[in-house]
Homo-oligomer: A and B are copies of this chain.
């Protein structure tokens, strides 16, 4: 993944902050919150402001290279993987897993006349790690 090119080709000027934030988000499997992103990056960018993290994520979202996850109310999480997938949150360890899903298998009744643009699927339960412990 060429991050500079990815930002540039999505009309985002690749400043240091934007690059680091996107790299972090893309490489993290954690679907981090703003606080986590800020905490983990502030040592590498000592001048970083939390406002910049908010601003930057909003920019990413507006330009279609990041999406939000509200699997749990009161905590917004961010995801730089834009390919269609669902999310599974383990009630025990709290980890959020990506789940591959074929949305075409979803059979809705009675909404043929609606135009569905996005589909969000959130699962809760116990992951295999927690089940075998």
Interface residues of A (CB under 8 A from B): 68, 70-73, 76, 86, 88, 90-91, 97, 99-102, 105-111, 113-128, 131
Contact = CB atoms under 8 A, between A and B. Distances in A.
A130 B83 CA distance: 28
A116 B125 contact: yes
B99 A108 contact: yes
A91 B110 CA distance: 19
Contacts of A109: 99-102
B131 A115 contact: yes
A114 B107 contact: no
A99 B110 contact: yes
Nearest to A127: B114
Given A102-B107, A114-B127, 20 more contacts: A68-B73, A70-B70, A70-B72, A71-B120, A73-B76, A86-B108, A91-B117, A97-B114, A99-B109, A100-B108, A101-B108, A101-B109, A111-B123, A113-B131, A114-B123, A114-B131, A118-B124, A120-B120, A120-B121, A122-B122
B114 A124 contact: no
Given A68-B73, A88-B111, A111-B99, A117 B126 contact: yes
The 6 closest A-B CB pairs, nearest first, are A113-B128, A117-B125, A120-B122, A116-B125, A105-B107, A118-B124
